[in-house]
């Protein structure tokens, strides 16, 4: 729990990783991708405050103790949600798998929510694996990468019949939160992998599931917002928004937050530090201290209230994941408000 | 906004008259996604012209994994722009420090097109992708022009009745006109100031508020992306000093 100026913030980090990108885990022949991937992540860390930058060796592989300290001792996080990224084509034991996350979660009861992943191209076998993971780690969410290249397949989308089978399976297993990565990707080469129309389709067909678009579709926030205004069960994952912009580009950060509040509203925004790209501490403290600048340039946007920040930093995710929050925050957790938005005129 | 050129990292070749022309040509090449010139983004790391008229240009991008489709467009556009400079006999454009650099460089040099370059890994040329982003540039440009007008006292409700020529002359207005022209959209002074970039039809008063809201959002998105890309480039190449444009914070 983070307390500032007499206000309590229950912090849920909606997007965290425990990865191993050390050279020992690189697959032979794939070294340039394995190395390029982690170096790319490391460059993103450069957008945070200088005192939070890590040397590349630490960034490639950090210890469990480091992570526990950065999140829970220093980082004000109450509960963190693991989002797996397998990348088994480049990393021998995977980059950040459900298995590794799940094992860590078991060693620290109550600290983590373990999400798993699926890929509809894995057919019946994938469905069985999903069920196994979901039962083993009591998963309430999944992280999906629709743009992933595999063999001859140029990625997949949530509109397909195969995807619908998996979404039905999620419902059956009690997995309610579908986190979809819509952001920078590598393959297929010519594809605009930021297309969110499949999320639109699935969100309409599965109104009981929540769809959290990670990285708010960056760099295509406009397409994402336009879609999200039409779907009550679509949420914005703020990983990268706070970490990548709040320190490095504060004025753009203010505008992006202004737009997200305008089009989606306070109940739909989910904080995620995206550890270990960025540590949560400066993000949580900075966001609580932050507000919309006074200049005319920001005149279209409203200021954020303490309650709105509480929702964004944790209560919204707590609502989606049924996390128990302190009694004094229960009310704010359940309250829902209509976004400012613009009327559909 | 500034139109200065970042000459710090540019090697001066031995053809002093042609090199500035090559640099200007590179200034016409835009990052399709950010809608800003490569020269202002700091993406040109080297530009040299030999006494025999051979141009060597090196490009660098903010990350090793920047989208290969956009990377390809920038390398191909740079090749075309430089090749068209009078006096240039041969052009080499090299993308550096990118996972697909070798494939892109040889594909562009062979004039192979995107499909010819990537074969089975791609199914389409990139014209559609490029047009999508020019449409976004029209929306972002509409915000720039209209916002300035509203700030200067124009009633937002009156925008539906105004023509492009009713906007005060400015670089933003001409940039908007140029993007509209690229898409084949109406772009004379008599054409509507605010139009739907998908259809070319003028936006009516009833839909104006929503349209302008979306135009603002598109501009915010584009400028935020530009901010991230500039920050990443600087993290990767600390010596790079991209020049200021509207995409950079003026703090």
Contact assignment for B64 to A40 by CB distance below 8 Å: yes
Residue B214 phi/psi, 5-degree rounding, is -75, -35
Of all residues in chain A, the one with the smallest CA distance to B98 is A36
Q: Residue A222: its chain B contacts at CB < 8 A?
A: 136, 139, 214, 217-218, 221
Spatial distance between the Cα atoms of A277 and A131, rounded to a whole number of angstroms: 30
pLDDT number for residue A184: 58
Strands A234-237 and A210-214, bridge-based pairing: parallel
Find out whether the peptide bond into B99 is cis, omega within 30 degrees of 0: no
Interface test with A, best of B228, B230, B240 (most A CBs within 10 A): B228
Q: What is the DSSP letter of A296?
A: G
In this structure, the number of other CB atoms found within 10 A of the CB of residue A276 comes to 25
Of B64, B120, B218, the CB nearest to A222: B218
pLDDT number for residue B163: 98
Angle between helix A197-205 and helix A221-228 axes, rounded to 10 deg: 20
Q: How far is B133 from chain A (nearest CA, A)?
A: 10
Number of inter-chain CB pairs under 8 A, A vs B? 128
Contact assignment for A186 to B65 by CB distance below 8 Å: yes
pLDDT number for residue A185: 57
* Structural contact between residues A288 and A8, judged by C-beta atoms closer than 8 angstroms: no
Higher pLDDT, A99 or A147: A99
Spatial distance between the Cα atoms of A269 and A10, rounded to a whole number of angstroms: 15
pLDDT number for residue A194: 67
pLDDT number for residue B126: 81
Of A39, A220, A222, the CB nearest to B64: A39
Outline which parts of chain B fall under CATH 3.30.300.130: 19-121
Contact assignment for B221 to A343 by CB distance below 8 Å: no
Q: Residue A44: its chain B contacts at CB < 8 A?
A: 232
Of all residues in chain A, the one with the smallest CA distance to B97 is A36
| Average pLDDT estimate for A217-244 | 90
Q: What separation, in Å, do the N-terminal and C-terminal C-alpha atoms of chain A show?
A: 42
Spatial distance between the Cα atoms of A234 and A210, rounded to a whole number of angstroms: 6
pLDDT number for residue A36: 86
Label residue A186 by pLDDT band (50, 70, 90).
Answer: low
What is the block-wise mean pLDDT of chain B (251 residues), using blocks of 10 residues?
A: 39 66 96 93 95 95 87 94 95 94 92 79 76 93 97 94 97 96 96 96 94 95 88 84 45 31
In this structure, the number of other CB atoms found within 10 A of the CB of residue A68 comes to 18
Q: Which fold has domain B19-121?
A: GMP Synthetase; Chain A, domain 3 (3.30.300)
pLDDT in tens, A26-56: 999 989 889 988 988 898 899 999 999 999 9
- The yes-or-no verdict on residue A206 having pLDDT over 70 is yes
Instruction: Please enumerate in sequence order all residues whose Cβ is within 8 A of that of A170, keeping only pairs 6 or more positions apart, or say none.
Output: A130, A142, A176, A178, A209
Of all residues in chain A, the one with the smallest CA distance to B104 is A189
Q: How far is A241 from chain B (nearest CA, A)?
A: 10
Q: Residue B68: its chain A contacts at CB < 8 A?
A: 186, 189-190
Contact assignment for A345 to B214 by CB distance below 8 Å: no
Q: How far is B207 from chain A (nearest CA, A)?
A: 5
Spatial distance between the Cα atoms of B178 and A267, rounded to a whole number of angstroms: 40
Q: How far is A153 from chain B (nearest CA, A)?
A: 10
Contact assignment for A251 to B33 by CB distance below 8 Å: no
- The yes-or-no verdict on residue A283 having pLDDT over 60 is yes
- ipTM of the modeled complex: 0.83
User: pTM of the entire structure?
Assistant: 0.87
Q: How far is B210 from chain A (nearest CA, A)?
A: 6
Of B63, B217, B227, the CB nearest to A43: B63
Q: How far is B93 from chain A (nearest CA, A)?
A: 20
Q: Residue A184: its chain B contacts at CB < 8 A?
A: 65, 67
* Structural contact between residues A185 and A151, judged by C-beta atoms closer than 8 angstroms: no
Helix, strand or coil for residue B171? helix
- The yes-or-no verdict on residue A224 having pLDDT over 60 is yes
């Amino acid at each position: 729990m983070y307390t500032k100026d007499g206000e309590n913030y229950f912090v849920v980090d909606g997007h965290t990783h425990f990865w191993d990108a050390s050279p020992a885990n690189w697959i032979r022949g794939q070294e340039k991708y394995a190395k390029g991937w982690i170096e790319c992540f490391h460059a993103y860390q450069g957008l945070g405050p200088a005192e939070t930058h890590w040397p590349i060796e630490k960034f490639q592989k950090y210890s469990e103790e480091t992570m526990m300290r950065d999140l829970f001792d220093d980082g004000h996080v109450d509960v963190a949600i693991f989002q797996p990224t397998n990348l088994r084509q480049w990393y021998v034991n995977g980059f950040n798998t459900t298995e590794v996350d799940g094992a860590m979660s078991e060693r620290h009861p109550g600290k983590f929510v373990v999400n798993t992943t699926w890929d509809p191209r894995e057919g019946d076998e994938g469905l069985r694996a999903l069920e196994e993971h979901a039962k083993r780690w009591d998963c309430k969410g999944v992280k999906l990468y629709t743009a992933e290249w595999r063999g001859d397949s140029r990625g997949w989308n949530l509109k397909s019949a195969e995807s619908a089978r998996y979404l039905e399976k999620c419902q059956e297993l009690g997995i309610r939160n579908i986190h979809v990565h819509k952001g920078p990707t590598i393959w297929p080469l010519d594809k605009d992998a930021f297309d969110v129309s499949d999320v639109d389709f699935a969100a309409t067909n599965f109104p009981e599931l929540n769809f959290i678009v990670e990285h708010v579709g960056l760099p295509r926030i406009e397409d994402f917002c336009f879609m999200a205004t039409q779907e009550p069960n679509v949420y914005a994952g703020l990983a990268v928004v706070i970490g990548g912009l709040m320190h490095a580009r504060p004025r753009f950060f203010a505008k992006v937050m202004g737009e997200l509040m305008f089009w989606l509203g306070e109940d739909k925004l989910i904080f995620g530090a995206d550890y270990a790209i960025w540590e949560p501490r400066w993000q949580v403290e900075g966001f609580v201290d932050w507000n919309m600048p006074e200049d005319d340039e920001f005149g279209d946007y409203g200021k954020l209230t303490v309650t709105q920040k509480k929702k964004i930093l944790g209560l919204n995710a707590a609502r989606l994941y049924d996390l128990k929050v302190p009694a004094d925050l229960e009310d704010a957790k359940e309250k829902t408000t209509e976004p400012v938005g613009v009327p559909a005129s | 906004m500034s139109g200065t050129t970042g000459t710090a990292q540019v090697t001066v070749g031995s053809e002093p008259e042609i090199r500035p022309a090559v640099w200007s040509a590179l200034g016409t090449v835009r990052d399709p996604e950010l809608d800003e010139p490569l020269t202002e983004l700091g993406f040109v790391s080297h530009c040299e012209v030999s006494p025999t008229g051979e141009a060597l240009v090196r490009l660098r991008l903010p990350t090793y994994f920047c989208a290969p489709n956009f990377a390809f467009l920038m390398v191909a556009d740079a090749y075309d722009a430089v090749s068209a400079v009078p006096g240039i006999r041969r052009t080499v454009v090299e993308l550096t420090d990118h996972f697909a650099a070798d494939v892109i460089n040889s594909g562009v040099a062979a004039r192979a097109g995107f499909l010819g370059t990537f074969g089975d890994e791609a199914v389409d040329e990139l014209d559609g992708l490029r047009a999508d982003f020019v449409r976004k540039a029209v929306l972002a440009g509409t915000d720039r022009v209209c916002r300035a007008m509203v700030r200067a006292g124009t009633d937002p409700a009156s925008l539906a009745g105004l023509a492009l020529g009713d906007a005060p002359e400015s670089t933003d207005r001409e940039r908007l006109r140029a993007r509209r022209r690229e898409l084949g959209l109406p772009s004379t002074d008599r054409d509507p100031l605010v139009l739907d970039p998908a259809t070319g039809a003028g936006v009516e008063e009833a839909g104006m508020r929503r349209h302008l809201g979306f135009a603002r959002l598109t501009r915010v998105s584009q400028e935020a992306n530009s901010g991230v890309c500039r920050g990443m480039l600087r993290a990767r190449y600390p010596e790079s000093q991209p020049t200021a444009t509207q995409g950079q914070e003026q703090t």
